[in-house]
Amino acid sequence: MSCCQPMAMLPMLLIPLLFLALYISMIRYVALWFVFTKAGEPGWAAIIPVYNLLIAIKIAGKPWWYILLLLIPIVNIVIGIMILHGISKSFGKGGWYTVGLIFFRTIFLAILGFGRQFIGEVKKSFKADSSTVSPAT
């Protein structure tokens, strides 16, 4: 009877882990919804499996055929990092933010999604700053 005891405890351990995984997935999809909305794309695209990759590639400023490169083993890791770096650059973030997106994607997507900066603010503020400089007379 004692040999079967650990197997009886297995569901008690797996059910909380399942709920935790579902909770983290919901946070990731809601954050991705807000990231897409800030980028001027439809938010519902975040929940469509392949279409959300196409939209992420578009936000990153990469060509659409990058999705085909994601099908090649080992190459998909490099292309995925390039897409994440393009997304972080689109929001005015640097390389260290890309590292955060690689290792802690849910947290850093939530920062992008719920933060105050929109995708066009960096370009608009740069143009506004350069137009305030008057030419030398």
Which segments of 39-137 does DSSP mark as H helices, in order? 49-60, 66-69, 75-90, 95-103, 105-114, 121-131
- State both tokens at 16: 């909380």
- The predicted structure's pLDDT at residue 101: 94
- The predicted structure's pLDDT at residue 116: 79
- The predicted structure's pLDDT at residue 132: 45
Residue 117: Cβ within 10 Å count: 14
| Residues of the chain falling short of pLDDT 50 | 122-135, 137
- The predicted structure's pLDDT at residue 120: 60
- Name the residue among 75, 74, 31, 32 with its Cα closest to residue 55: 32
Residues contacting residue 102 through CB under 8 Å, at least 6 positions apart: 81, 84
- Name the residue among 101, 110, 104 with its Cα closest to residue 83: 101
- The predicted structure's pLDDT at residue 121: 54
- The predicted structure's pLDDT at residue 109: 92
Instruction: Please tell me the distance from the alpha carbon of residue 81 to that of residue 99, in angstroms, as a whole number.
Output: 9
